[in-house]
């Protein structure tokens, strides 16, 4: 029996060592799991911040695009009004009797454009260029005089004023379209960049989550192994208690065949499970 007690004490020490090892491994893995959980939380916080910022850029972009639509509508209205006023001006000019022998304004402007084109594209001597410039100045002066004459008509003068105002408004709306569209594009680019970062953070969060689950699974395995080792220690202590003369009640039923000590020790050394009932049967056999 002394050999059995010695073997049980050895196995108890071994099981205690295994329990301590599993507990230390479990605690280390749980600490790792907490670190992974903290990393995941940080990534998710950053992901939420960037997603919220991206949504802000998207809302601002959409607001700017609506403003672009409105400015385009106003610009188109202005262009239509500009065309209507231009047509009205031409009607009034045609209706006004020209001065005897005066060249029509449209003819003067046509000739002026032809001279300007010739000046830019032709190789001229100094004298030729001087005469060409003088002729251009003369035509410009005639156009100016005819415009001043036209302005003496209150109806034409009003249309010219309205025309200038409509042109300014149309140009302002056109400029706003460009500025707002550029601002909307910048908001769009900022949004796309942030969403790309969000996708990358989401990928990292998934990787960290997978690692967290892996480590938690390992920690759970170590915990179960720790519990199993503790239960094994308790079982061995029950066997030691019985081996040292303690009495443990047997379950109801026929007693098992008396165990031999050499068989009992062999089973212990192989790591096989032995019950308190086995030990009690060995005790009984030893007392016969």
pLDDT of residue 258: 43
pLDDT tens digit sequence for 218-242: 999 999 999 999 998 888 888 787 7
Average pLDDT, the chain: 84
pLDDT of residue 287: 39
pLDDT of residue 257: 44
Of residues 79 and 157, more confidently modeled: 79
Tokens matching residue 87? 């047509």
The CA distance from 3 to 7, in Å, is 6
Of residues 212 and 6, more confidently modeled: 212
pLDDT of residue 70: 96
pLDDT tens digit sequence for 105-138: 778 888 889 998 888 888 888 898 899 999 999 9
pLDDT of residue 108: 83
What Rg do the C-alpha atoms of the chain give, in angstroms?
A: 51
Place of tokens 């550029």: 182
pLDDT-derived band at 273 (thresholds 50, 70, 90) equals low
pLDDT of residue 104: 74
Tokens matching residue 7? 């073997």
CB-hemisphere CA count at 13 Å for 122?
13
Give me the count of residues in the chain: 288
Answer for the pair 156, 150: CB distance below 8 angstroms, yes or no.
Answer: yes
Overall average pLDDT of the 147-174 stretch: 86
pLDDT-derived band at 248 (thresholds 50, 70, 90) equals very low
CA angle 16, 272, 270 (to 5 degrees): 90
Overall average pLDDT of the 162-178 stretch: 93
């Amino acid at each position: 029996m002394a050999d059995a007690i010695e073997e049980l004490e050895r196995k108890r020490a071994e099981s205690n060592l295994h329990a301590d090892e599993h507990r230390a491994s479990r605690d280390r893995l749980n600490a790792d799991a907490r670190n992974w959980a903290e990393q995941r939380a940080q990534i998710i916080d950053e992901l939420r911040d960037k997603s919220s910022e991206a949504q802000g850029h998207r809302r601002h972009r959409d607001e700017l695009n609506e403003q672009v639509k409105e400015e385009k509508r106003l610009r188109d209205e202005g262009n239509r009004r500009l065309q209507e006023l231009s047509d009205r001006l031409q009607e009034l000019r045609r209706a006004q009797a020209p001065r005897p022998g005066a060249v029509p304004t449209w003819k003067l402007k046509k000739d002026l454009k032809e001279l300007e084109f010739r000046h830019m594209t032709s190789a001229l001597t100094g004298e030729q260029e001087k005469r060409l410039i003088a002729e251009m100045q003369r035509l410009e002066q005639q156009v100016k005089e005819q415009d001043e004459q036209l302005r003496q008509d209150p109806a034409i003068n009003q249309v010219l004023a309205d025309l200038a105002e409509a042109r300014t408004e149309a140009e302002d709306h056109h400029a706003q379209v460009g500025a707002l569209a550029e601002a909307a594009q910048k908001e769009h680019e900022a949004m796309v960049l942030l969403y790309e970062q969000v996708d990358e953070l989401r990928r990292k969060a998934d990787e960290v989550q997978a690692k967290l689950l892996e480590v938690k699974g390992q920690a759970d395995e170590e915990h179960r192994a720790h519990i199993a080792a503790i239960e094994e220690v308790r079982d061995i202590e029950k066997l030691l208690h019985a081996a040292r003369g303690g009495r443990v009640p047997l379950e109801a039923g026929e007693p098992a065949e008396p165990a031999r000590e050499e068989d009992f020790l062999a089973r212990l050394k192989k790591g096989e499970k032995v019950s308190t009932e086995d030990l009690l049967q060995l005790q009984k056999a030893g007392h016969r």
